[in-house]
Structure formats: C-alpha cells, structure tokens
Structure 1
Amino acid sequence: MVKMNRFIQFNDETVDAKTLLLYERLGRALADAPFIELTERKLLEFRPQEGIISMSVFWRHRTDEVIHAGRLSDIYLLTSGYWKHFSVMSWIKFSRSISLYPLRKFTSELLLMLEEFRLIDVITKERPGTASAFEVRREAYVYLHRNAQSSNMQKNQLADAMMNQLFISLHEGLFAETSIDWDAHSIDYDLIQSVLQHAYDSKSTEDNTFIADRITGIVERSIDKDLVKQYYSAGDSITEENTVFHYHKGISDAEEGEEGPKETIEEVFRSWHRESESESGVHLEFELEHGRSGKSDANDATPGHEDAEVEETGSGDSEGNDSDRWTDDTSDKTDKRDRKMKAGKMFGKEHVNVVYEEQRIEVVDEVENRQLLTVWREEQKPYVRSFVEEMKKRIDLKQDSKRERLMKGRLSTKLTTMVVDERPKPFYRKSAPSVNLDAVFGLLVDGSASMLDKLDETKQAVLLFHDVLRQLGVFHEISSYYEDANNATKEVQPNVFELMHTFTDRNKDNGLSILSFDANEDNRDGFAIRWMADQLAMRQEKHKFLLVFSDGEPSAFGYDRNGILDTAEAVMETEKKGISIIHLFLSTEEPTVDQKALFSMMFGNKTASSNSVDSFTDQTLRILRKLLSIVIRNT
C-alpha cells in the first residue's frame, strides 16, 4: 500500500487498489450482481443510482488480520444480509411514521442496529464460514461502544449513551454488566431490556420496527435530545423516490412493464441498473418519465428501442455501438482513426463521458528535428546494432539447437557419438531459415504536463524502442495520451491519442513523428491502457506486450480519487486478455519508496524505474531484452 499526499495532512490515508478489487469481486459474487462497485466510506452505505456499496473505514489502522476479517464482515452484511433480507417497504413505512418523533434519528438508527443483529444471525446460519469474521466484528464494536459510552455520559449525551448500552446488551447478553445507573436519569432500563429481548426472536424487518418503536416510546419519556453521532447509514439512500418509479399518466399498462415498489435492496439496485442500461442505448426522446419502448410526439416517429442499431451518428450524446463509433463525417474513409469517438461504457464506468480522438501527430520543426534525429541515431547506433545482432544470434542458436542430435535425418560427419554415447543421436536436419519474431508491442507515452522537464530523454527512449523493433521486423504501435483539462467538464472529458507509429505503418521510419511529441495536460491511465489493449487484442501474434511510460499517478477531471483503482483494474483486465503490461517510471531523480509502492500497486511486479533521465534508454533496452528473450525462448 502507498500513502497518498492529500491536502489535509490527517487525511493522508492508504489506498490498496488490488485488495479493494478483490473485495469488490467477492461482493459481486455474493450478491450475484456483476454491476455493483465497492468503495470505502465512513459507514456502511448503499447508493442505488450509482450502483455502489460502501464498506466502512472503521477497520483501518488495525492489525492485518482484524482489517481483513472486519472488511469481510462488512461485505457479508452488505451483500448477503441487507441485499436480500432487508425489507425496503417496511423501512420506508417506518421512516414515514417516525418523521415527527423528537428522537427520530435515535429510532431509525436503533432499527438498523436491530437489523444488523438479525442479519448477522441469518448470514451465519446460511454461511457458517462467516462466523469468525463476525466474531471479530462483535469484539471490535463492543470495545468501541464501551469506550464511547463513558465519554457520552460525561458530555450528557444520553441518547448516544443509550445507543451504546443497547448495542452492548444485544451482543453480550441482556444481563451484561453496566456501569451506568439509569435509574438516576429516570430511565426504566429493566423495561427496555424486557422489550429488547424480543430481538433474539425477530424474523423480519417489520418485527424490528415494533421493537424499535416501543423502546423509543420508553426512552423519550426521559431523554429529549436526539443522537449527536451517527452510527448507521445503511438506510439513508433507501428512500421512496429511489424505490418507486413514476410513469406518465397516459402510459398504458403494457408499456409500464413490471416496475413498481421494491421489496429488497437487491431489487432497488437492479431496477436502477436496468434504467441506466436502457438510457445508454440508442433511443428516441420519449414522452415518458421512465420508459422502455414508447412513442414520441412526432408523426413520422417509430418506436424507440434500446438495442436499435446506429444508422447515422452525430455529435450528440448517443454512444452508438462498437462497430460504428465514428462521429465525424468526412469524405476521406481511408483512415478512420482521425475521428472523434465517445467512450461510453466500453472503457469502464469512470470514463463514460470521455470523448476521445485518435490522430496522427503533426511533424513540427522538420529541419531542426531532422538534424537532431541524425545526431541521436548516431549516438544510439552502437546500442541498436549490438542489440539487434544479439537477438538475431539468439534466434539462430535457438533454431540450431532444435535441429542437431536427432534420432533420424541426415547422418552427421561427426560419428564419434556412435562410440562415446550410450544412446547416440548422429543425425541432423538442415536449419530452417530465420523467421520474424511472433510478437507485437504497444507503447503508451504519458503526455501530461509533468513530462515537460524530461521530454528529450523520453523521446530518445521511444526512438530507441522504435528503431530496435523496426530493424527486427516486429510490429508495434506508439501513441501518447492526454486529457484536455481546459475543456473538460462533468458532461464531457476530451482525450487525445497522438499516434507516432501504427501497426499499419509496418517498418516505416517515423522518427520525426516521435521527435514531434510534446507535453500537454492531464493523464487518464486506465482509459489509455484499455484503449491500447483493444488495439493489441485484434492482433494475431502469439506474444503481446503493452508498455507504459509515465512519470506520475493518474490525474484527470473527476479521476484523481479513483484513478489508481481504475488503473489497477485496467491492468488486471488486460493481463486476463493475454497481454503483458510493463511500466517504466520516468523520473528526473531517484524514485521514493512511496512512488515505487504506488506503481507496484497499479502494475504489480512489472514496473521498473530509472535513477535519472540519462538512464531512460538503458531501462528501455533492458525491458526489450527481457521481453524478446521470452519470445525467443517460447518460439
């Protein structure tokens, strides 16, 4: 894990992207909902509109065993408990009924406390293996409530102290010792206990609403100030507006479909997911507030449908489909890459509003760059020549080793093996001619503003990469990537891929294009990785490699918070496609421990760094040597 530099020092927290992704996959499996996402918040939380569930930060800063068990207990409660066994309608009805209570916060959170207690029992019976995680949870929260209770009593926060007492009594037994004399505060705690004991027999959310309501009736006789702290938030976003969809009065029953009040959180989430999926299709503008396939006001309109194919695309918000993503209508159809496209949901939820453009980089300062290109190539020539010769020798040796000492074939002139060896192999076959390496490379170069102080060294490393692969006849594509921060908004985030060399260029010399590379603004790494992975996935070569040259963590509009997690997820997705990702950290100085840990978290053990700008080319050669050796060995 790595500490992230935050504006507020005390919020300098750790982020473990890959572990969070593993928890997310567990949550998806338990809920049988591949669309949900997992985050960390102050308390357990559901956000149906966004498809997000949140575990609590309560478990941070503890031993690894407690952190893991505590987070597992959160996920079990969210996806195996509340997800299927919490009654949404009972909660909404109860929330409406207590809206005028003086202790309404106490009452609603008490219900959630009772529900958590009931759900732990339900989950443990369904999945006995969860018991150990819930035991860790009980111990941690009982300890928290015991410490908080004395503090709340000193501050005369009686409602909070009573909440602490009820939690302790539930989890340690109704006869657990208490250091508070409730009679001194005119509170009949014995009567409260007699009501609380029904929680052990509760079978539903509705049962617990009666218990919570009765306890509140007793408590509010002596306590008039509501809770100061918040202990539960699982029900905050489960409101009537989120669970019942309203249709236009003119809609027919057939068009309304199956939508209506939802009974479980699972149904609420799936309904919102279906709505968002529907709205991402190619639609006409419906008259309905929520619709599936209605008619518009126009006389010549036809019924809209979410699966409709794109016949024409414009510059609006329609996403189109994968087979026809181009939105700039030009007469030149020879190179479809010089067009603007909308990412939609193809590249992950974080990039839904990204509009990207693939364009050939413009050659600038041609005379000056041509002279510089000659100088750099003269400097790199010995390294390129020796590297290429080394690889070709390895290929020849590999093929030779396959052709000698065979059991059949042509008889060798060296017949001493007939006398010396117990099982002689005196035959050979003619070596096959050398063939091109069965590999393809994609190189992404960070085009953010922070690259400005290391542009020349980066260009030299990219040029070396290009010249080596070109001489070895290996297909490769090189592109910089950046986001136009000046024009980025919540609705649209423009991104650009500046193509220096493409697969269709084959062995074309694009040195001048590489020297025309310049620094721009922000970088959206997860999006760029998925984009290049798509290009590589269409290739037929056996070995596929994606190299990323960057000098910092992802940073773009609305991406600073989730960029690390999204990039780590993009790396995992790409590796699953059989594409190996290698990262080179470009830095003007020795990377810090935190920087190394950050990139290791995103790229795993396939990340390298350089001690200075002068060693960019050395690191590039080292990476290429290792990767091409793997290709040759497995040829």
Structure 2
Amino acid sequence: MRQVFNERKVDASLFLQMENLMCALLKDPKAQLEYDYQTYYDEQEGKVTISRFWDDRSQEDKILGLKSEVYLKALGYRHHSDMKLIREYAKELLSSPHKHFLTQLFVLLEDLRVEEKIKTLRPGTKPIFAWRRNTYRSYFTAQYEMNRIRDFQADMLFSLCYLTLTSDKYESFGNDYLTSIESLLYEAFHARNTEDTMYTVEKIRYRLEEVLPSDMVNNYFGLAPISDKAEKIEKDACAHELANDDTQLLDDDEKKDKMDETFSTWHRENKNNDNENFLRFELESGTKTNLMGNAARESEDADQALASVQGGSKKSSQANFNPADAKDARSSHASGSGENAYGKYNIGAVHTIKGSRKPTIDEKAAYQTIKSLINKDVKELKKTIEKTIENKTNAYSEKYYGRLHKKFHRIYTEKQPRMFYKKGNESKELDVVFHLLVDCSGSMYNKMEETKKSVVLFHEALKSLKVPHAISGFWEDASSAKAEYKPNVIHEVIAYKNSTSPSSGPEIMQLREEEDNRDGYIIRIISEALAKRPEKHKFLLVFTDGEPSALDYHQDGILDTHEAVKLARKHGLEVIGIFIEEGEAKEETYQLMKNIYNHHFLVANHAEDLRLKIKPLLKKLLLKIIS
C-alpha cells in the first residue's frame, strides 16, 4: 500500500469525465486516457494523454483546461489531422539541430488549425478555447521573461511565436529571430490541412537553421513518442500488403519519379542537393528515442495530478502463500487474458481464495482478550438495534380497531382518537449482509493489531444480531508478480456460512501484513460474490491505510479503485472506505478517500481512534436499513 505524503493525487471523478468525453469524440469505447507532461493523440496505441499543466488551478479552470485538450486531440487530431504524415514528419525533424523547437512549433500551428475547425463545427466550444488562449498567453508572457533572463534564445522565440499567433492586434516585440519569420508565421492562418502546416514549418526551418544558435530547453507541447512497436506495426503492414495484393511494384526510377512528383513543393527552398528528397520517409530511418526528450516543462507542482512514485509497501517477511497450506483454498481465476473482465488496469491479475485454518491456542487467547475489551460496546449496540426493531415492529398504525395501545391521553387531546394498533409479524428489518475487506499490504505492519480490534467489534456485533457477514484480508504477491501474471490472495478468515456461529471469531487473528495490494481488482471480485447474495441491503467495507500500490498499478490504482467502487454501487452495494491515518489526518488523506469513495468514507486519526469510530458507524448503518 503506497502511503500518502505530499504528492499529487488524481481526481478520479474528473478523470473519468474526461475519459468518457474522449471515448465519445473518438467514437472508440476502448480508447485509453492517460496523464503526461504534454498532451497528444497516439492513434496507433488508441490513446490520448492530458497534461498536468492545469493541476494548480481551481476546479472550474481545471475542467475547462482538460476539456480543451480532449477536444483538440480526440476530436481535432483524430478527425482533422493526417496522423501518418505527422509521424513521418516527426521522424524527419529528428535530424534537425533545432528538432525540439520545430516539433513544438509544428504542434502549436496544428493545434491552432484544428482549433478553428472545432469551433466551426461546434460553436459551443468557443468559450473554452478563448479561456485556453488567455491562460496560455499569460503563461507564455511569464515564460518569455524567464527565458530572456536565462538567455534561452529558442525558448524565448517560441514564447513570442505563441503570443504573436494568438494576439488580437499587431504587436512588435523587437526580436530579430521573430522578425525574420513573422510573415511565415501568419501563413499558418491559411493552412487547410496538416500538409499546409508542415510547409509553413519547413519554410521557418530554412530561415532559422543557420542563424538560431541552439535548440529549445523546455518542452511545452509534444507529439506521441516514436516507438519501436509503431515502426514494426507499420513495416509488417507494408510487408503484408505487398505479399498479398496483386499490385505492380515500381522500379527505382519510377519510385524516384513518384516521390519527386508528390513532394516537390516540400523542398522548394531546400538547400540540399538535387539528388536528395527533403523529407525522407523510409520506415527504417526512425529512432528509438523519445521525441520530446526527458526535460520537464517549467511549471509549478500541484495537488491533483497523477504522480508516478514508488509505493510504500514492504516486502513481507513471511513465506509466499502456498494453496496447499489451507484446506479451503480455491483455484486461481485469471483476468485480462480474454475480455479483461476486471478492468483495463488489471491485465494479468489472478486471485486465489485462501480459507482460514483452525485457530491456535494463542490465537484463541488473543481473541478473548480483544473480545473482553469490546464486550460492553457490543452489548450497547445490540440493545439499541433490538430496541429500534421492537419499536418498529410494534408501532401502532392509528386504526379504529385492533389491539388497544397504552397512550390513553389521546382520548383527551384528539376528537376522534385512533386508539388501536396492529401488531406486526416477526421482524425482517435486518435483511442485510456485510463483507469486510482488510488491506494486508506491508505498510499495515504497525496498524494490523489495532485494526483487528475494530474488525472483532464488527464481527461480534453482527454475530450477536444474527447478521451474515464475511471478513477477508487481501494482498498481491509482489515477489512473484510479472507483467503477464500478477497473483493476488483473498484470505477469507470468516465466511458467510459460519459467520454467526458462536465459536467463530478467533480466525480473525490470522490476518497479518503481507506485500502489495490491488484494491480495484479485489473490490471487483468481492462485489461479484456479494451482489449474488439474497439479502436486500449489502455493505462492503474496505479497511485501508494508503493508496493502492502494485506492479504496473502505481499510476492507475486510484482510478481503477474508483471505477470498481462506482461499478459496485451500480449493482446496489454500499461501499465505504475506512482509512487508518498515522497521527492527525492530512488534507491529502481526505482528498484521496474522496477521489476513490466520494463522500462515503471514514478517517481515523490513528489506529486506536478507529475502534472508537467504528461503533457509531455500525450503529448508523444498521439503523439506516431498519424501515
């Protein structure tokens, strides 16, 4: 379980809104949305990335900023840009000494072109893009000053390019480099397609290649990385086409003629020799490097972006789980091998149900010690619930016939008193079932003992009221996890079938800290079983102490768990997160739990405080379902 420190957290609800918008615009329900430092559309991966540029802004501004990016990439680039040409041109620019400047300028000009397309087709987006431009103008005004002080000539020029292209009136900045390309920049306003945008960048490239002293340092805008996978797919596609289609193959002279005929205008101002095509489109001339490099854009850190950091889980000192160790162990069930039934972030995840063994003498003794501590709370809770049920069951129905109730004062206070009631049948008010999930990741090592006390309180109270329930610990075996195989264990210490048995309970002491945790996956598994139960009211309580953390899960754990909780609620389950904090609860903790569980969560300042808050929580839940 990754601990919560001063790190940025993803707003899961907002992210899912953007993902739904992206899928609708792309017309592809399987498309993926991710956070990155720049925003881009990768048509080969079926992916759109949104940037962290908006993280430190208000919620309203953040929504507008992210919407503008989704509109630009999912609608603009997907439907109004030539993505094949963009990839090929990106590879061509890698050979330029000003590759970062030219690539980002190309993206900027293409963004402005498709923005106008979108505003024409969808006039309702005009306020969003107007706000986007004003925000970026303020940003690049500040960046210009910063780059001027640092004497970053290319970065300073790029800032001026943005300000020039987005200004409502002519402004003279007195920059020699800008003056030399200013007339060419304005040609971008007449671009009809991606090819026209490329022509403009090529002219600017020719003007600047000999005079601009160095390339850009900062990265403001970017394109999808050029990957080996993309190159291989394209090569295979070409090979497949030639091997199976009955088409005439051109000889070398015909190829040259064809290239010269098609791309002649691309190098009208090219100073290369006549035997070279200005743009070289051979597939084998790609690169294995990331197009945009490793430098991050200069911007402030914020509190809501998805940060990819190392988890806080510890490797368990215990031996790995062996199904042979438990009599009730069930076989593992794969997810992600076919239709990925348990979410796109859980490909390769599998799980094994581990049953409880017979409690030892020490476990029975430890359980009795905890039971004696919470016995008073259990009795009070049971008395309150039974009293409420009795009042509901025997409540008079204000009839003129039936059983006479004892409130005779109504004879004097009412003209036509209804003095009778109908005695109800045996109460079925507690038509409810619970499942308690306990995070058994390594970071629970100093909280597990206190957590068990709260779990015992739940168990004894529910057992005394004859409410069926199950209690399970869960973890992922980090030492055995691989990309294609991620083994998870659900340790079912209390099963539904024996939860109300007088002798049940000491099995809870078998819970202990283990390794990683894949919360969203486990919640999906448990929700499936809980949804099949016959009870009317179903509660799933998740005891946790931090952010989900497992192999290939650090970046997406919050989103996946949020989706799992949302899906469970759609199936009629009430899901409540219970967070165990160390010391005073931090604002980041509340934001994390809100992102995952919305407003249905409880935060305890420390493990001992948890038990004090569990009693009123359980009371509230039980009284809620008595109707």
State the AA in 2 paired with 1:608: L
**1:103 Cα offset (Å):** 4.2
How do 1:264-283 residues align onto structure 2 when only pairs under 5 Å count? Answer: none
- Pick from 210, 232, 236 the counterpart of residue 225 of structure 2: 236
Correspondence for 1:499? 492
How do 1:326-341 residues align onto structure 2 when only pairs under 5 Å count? Answer: 338-341=330-333
Does residue 210 (structure 1) correspond to residue 205 (structure 2)? The answer is: no
Correspondence for 1:75? 70
Asked whether the 8 Å contact 2:9–2:592 carries over to 1, the reply is no
SS at match of 1:453: coil
Correspondence for 1:570? 564
State the AA in 2 paired with 1:210: Y
- Pick from 580, 588, 592 the counterpart of residue 594 of structure 1: 588
Asked whether the 8 Å contact 1:3–1:15 carries over to 2, the reply is no
1:251–1:441 CA distance, 2 compared to 1 (3 A): farther
Correspondence for 1:453? 446
Asked whether the 8 Å contact 2:3–2:545 carries over to 1, the reply is no
Asked whether the 8 Å contact 1:483–1:522 carries over to 2, the reply is yes
Structure 2 Cα separation of the partners of residues 199 and 587 of structure 1: 55
1:578–1:65 CA distance, 2 compared to 1 (3 A): same
SS at match of 1:442: strand
**1:481 Cα offset (Å):** 0.5
Correspondence for 1:5? 5
State the AA in 1 paired with 2:578: L
State the AA in 2 paired with 1:23: M
Does residue 516 (structure 1) correspond to residue 510 (structure 2)? The answer is: yes
State the AA in 2 paired with 1:223: L
- Pick from 179, 187, 196 the counterpart of residue 198 of structure 1: 187
Correspondence for 2:163? 168
Structure 2 Cα separation of the partners of residues 141 and 94 of structure 1: 26
Correspondence for 1:527? 521
Structure 2 Cα separation of the partners of residues 154 and 515 of structure 1: 64
Asked whether the 8 Å contact 2:356–2:494 carries over to 1, the reply is no
- Pick from 343, 347, 357 the counterpart of residue 335 of structure 2: 343
Structure 2 Cα separation of the partners of residues 522 and 425 of structure 1: 63
**1:91 Cα offset (Å):** 1.9
- Pick from 24, 29, 35 the counterpart of residue 19 of structure 2: 24
State which drifts further: 588-597 or 353-362: 588-597
Asked whether the 8 Å contact 2:323–2:354 carries over to 1, the reply is no
SS at match of 2:517: coil
1:85–1:570 CA distance, 2 compared to 1 (3 A): same
1:529-577 C-alpha deviation (Å, 9 max, x unpaired): 2222112111222211111112232222233333233323322222222
State which drifts further: 350-359 or 90-99: 90-99
Asked whether the 8 Å contact 2:518–2:553 carries over to 1, the reply is yes
**1:623 Cα offset (Å):** 1.4
How do 1:256-335 residues align onto structure 2 when only pairs under 5 Å count? Answer: none
State which drifts further: 474-483 or 47-56: 47-56
Correspondence for 1:352? 347
- Pick from 219, 227, 238 the counterpart of residue 208 of structure 2: 219
- Pick from 441, 451, 454 the counterpart of residue 434 of structure 2: 441
Structure 2 Cα separation of the partners of residues 227 and 412 of structure 1: 87
Asked whether the 8 Å contact 2:524–2:564 carries over to 1, the reply is yes
Asked whether the 8 Å contact 2:493–2:508 carries over to 1, the reply is yes
1:251–1:169 CA distance, 2 compared to 1 (3 A): closer
Correspondence for 2:173? 178
**1:153 Cα offset (Å):** 5.6
Structure 1 Cα separation of the partners of residues 77 and 358 of structure 2: 59
1:188-220 C-alpha deviation (Å, 9 max, x unpaired): 63xx44443332232211222222222323333
1:446–1:117 CA distance, 2 compared to 1 (3 A): same
The aligned length equals: 543
Does residue 466 (structure 1) correspond to residue 459 (structure 2)? The answer is: yes
Asked whether the 8 Å contact 1:500–1:510 carries over to 2, the reply is no
State which drifts further: 489-498 or 105-114: 105-114
Structure 1 Cα separation of the partners of residues 154 and 496 of structure 2: 68
State which drifts further: 475-484 or 143-152: 143-152
SS at match of 1:485: coil
If asked which structure has higher relative contact order (CA below 8 Å, sep 6+), I would say 2
Does residue 118 (structure 1) correspond to residue 113 (structure 2)? The answer is: yes
**1:483 Cα offset (Å):** 1.6
How do 1:543-558 residues align onto structure 2 when only pairs under 5 Å count? Answer: 543-558=537-552
Structure 1 Cα separation of the partners of residues 517 and 468 of structure 2: 26
SS at match of 1:112: helix
State the AA in 1 paired with 2:435: G
Asked whether the 8 Å contact 2:14–2:63 carries over to 1, the reply is no
Asked whether the 8 Å contact 2:4–2:547 carries over to 1, the reply is no
1:43-78 C-alpha deviation (Å, 9 max, x unpaired): 113345654322122223344444332222112212
Structure 1 residue runs of 5 or longer lacking an equivalent are 7-11, 255-327
- Pick from 124, 127, 130 the counterpart of residue 129 of structure 1: 124
1:406–1:362 CA distance, 2 compared to 1 (3 A): same
Structure 2 Cα separation of the partners of residues 60 and 542 of structure 1: 42
Does residue 90 (structure 1) correspond to residue 79 (structure 2)? The answer is: no
**1:416 Cα offset (Å):** 7.8
SS at match of 1:534: helix
Structure 2 Cα separation of the partners of residues 412 and 40 of structure 1: 66
SS at match of 2:48: strand
**1:86 Cα offset (Å):** 1.3
Structure 2 residue runs of 5 or longer lacking an equivalent are 246-321
Structure 2 Cα separation of the partners of residues 3 and 118 of structure 1: 44
Structure 2 Cα separation of the partners of residues 430 and 13 of structure 1: 58
**1:359 Cα offset (Å):** 1.0
Structure 2 Cα separation of the partners of residues 251 and 534 of structure 1: 49
**1:79 Cα offset (Å):** 1.7
- Pick from 385, 390, 397 the counterpart of residue 391 of structure 1: 385
Correspondence for 2:140? 145
Structure 1 Cα separation of the partners of residues 512 and 224 of structure 2: 50
Over the aligned positions, Cα root-mean-square deviation in angstroms equals 3.5
1:121–1:395 CA distance, 2 compared to 1 (3 A): same
**1:223 Cα offset (Å):** 3.4
**1:510 Cα offset (Å):** 2.5
SS at match of 2:551: coil
SS at match of 2:394: helix
Structure 2 Cα separation of the partners of residues 562 and 235 of structure 1: 20
1:405–1:513 CA distance, 2 compared to 1 (3 A): same
Structure 1 Cα separation of the partners of residues 131 and 406 of structure 2: 76
State which drifts further: 81-90 or 46-55: 46-55
State the AA in 1 paired with 2:200: I
Structure 2 Cα separation of the partners of residues 350 and 181 of structure 1: 50
1:164–1:456 CA distance, 2 compared to 1 (3 A): closer
Asked whether the 8 Å contact 1:43–1:56 carries over to 2, the reply is yes
SS at match of 1:39: strand
Structure 1 Cα separation of the partners of residues 91 and 479 of structure 2: 46
SS at match of 1:229: coil
Does residue 475 (structure 1) correspond to residue 468 (structure 2)? The answer is: yes
Structure 1 Cα separation of the partners of residues 190 and 26 of structure 2: 26
Structure 2 Cα separation of the partners of residues 160 and 376 of structure 1: 65
SS at match of 1:487: coil
State the AA in 1 paired with 2:75: S
Structure 1 Cα separation of the partners of residues 383 and 441 of structure 2: 35
State the AA in 1 paired with 2:478: A
Structure 1 Cα separation of the partners of residues 47 and 241 of structure 2: 33
Q: Percent identity?
A: 29
Structure 1 Cα separation of the partners of residues 152 and 451 of structure 2: 61
Structure 2 Cα separation of the partners of residues 54 and 547 of structure 1: 33
State the AA in 1 paired with 2:353: E
SS at match of 1:246: helix
